[in-house]
Structure 1
Amino acid sequence: MTPAPGITLEGRATIDGDLLFAPLTLSMAAGKWTCLLGGSGVGKSTVLRLIAGLATGAEFDGRIAATDGAEVIPRVGYMAQDDLLLPWATVTQNVALGARLRGERPDEARLSGLLERVRLADHADKKPDELSGGQRQRVALARTLMEDKPIILLDEPFSALDARTRADMQDLAVELLAGRTVLLVTHDPGEAARLGHSIVVMTQMGLTDCAPPAQKPPRRVDDLETLATQGALLRLLREEAA
């Protein structure tokens, strides 16, 4: 894997002439997790899709650049809100999809190891319609981790998981994405407080930073500073929605 760069998105977005988000500057530090929160419809998922080079339905006036000056899009791994699993493919085939699309042979050891880590080894030959929503989301997470990209974009990747599994998969993602530049969109203040090196709240009119806890992620869910950050984020989100 090439070294992970920092990423900066600067600009504004409109849909059919109506403002989606005002001019803003979102900076993601190299090799760190940036957590992006905000109400529905403020453009969080659009930001992810813009960085990934995907269609958004919005007109973007601005720029997206990496600190090393190299192209961003080829180095991106992206996990959408929907799992986007191929219904006719097995769990194993879905996780290895990227390699197969590139005409490469999947790394079988890495693949089997990931299935073990996301607790799906016993479901490797199942199709998506045989899985629960949480299991499907873990397949999508494993597929993203399988790509081993230096820039990772995650759109609510743990939302369908029960509390215990969510914490376990958060810990796993922090471990396996060490050194990557990660942008995580989440609606969960507790998740952002656990995982973010940088935490940003987005509204239609701009961005507000929230200081993260001093400890390294992943932080203990019951740590007092983590709980204090969670509370501060919730208050900020409620103020922005008022």
Structure 2
Amino acid sequence: MNVTLIPVTPFQQNCTVLCCNTTKRAAVIDPGGDIERIVSEIEHQGVALEKIFLTHGHLDHCGAAGKLAQYMSVPIEGPHIDDAFLINQLLTQSARFGFSKTQLFTPDRWLKDGDTVAFGNVTLDVLHCPGHTPGHIVFFSDNKRLASVGDVLFAGSIGRTDFPKSNYVDLIKSIRTKLWPLGDDVTFIPGHGPMSTFGQERQTNPYVADTVLTSNDSSMAVQKIISQHSY
């Protein structure tokens, strides 16, 4: 499986093109915007787009999903249905942040914990990881030891939890009970910024490293997260 990151939107969100090397079929995770760049990369690789996968319903992750799905005649899978309220607010979100008009859509398939998604000969496991949003999804390839985690976890940080229906306790639980058990050797693609490994974050991440997080850190950690980034 070939992996290509395309930073899109003013938020530099990591849109990901995954390609099955055997079948030359591809999937796009989180096409938040800049659809021309995404289509150009697909054409450059000479692959056929089969599906669009979404980690969650924030504008910078799914703002171009409707247009891309229509243009390429492919289905949208994800996120969890608990993020439907965010997808239904895409027009409001795009106006608020000055994005070009977004095309509303309804995913062809809502995902839940324990599901799998597939394209070409590639199968990805689905983990429901609420916290940043209630319906946030993580996609995991056990074969490649690779996870696409959206805005759950970043290199050196974690997702914000001051949005509507966000929950800090749920976020920490998702990281500790869903992500860490996958293994320290897993490389992850965050929604923004550089890639890292779960092992590295367990050692050095100031919010979720094994040695630093206690129940008394919650309020202070949330304030630090809010001040560090806007996604």
TM-score (norm. length: structure 1):
0.35
Structure whose CA Rg is larger:
1
Higher helix fraction: Structure 1 or Structure 2?
1
Q: Which has the higher contact order (CA 8 A, sep 6+)?
A: 1
TM-score (norm. length: structure 2):
0.36
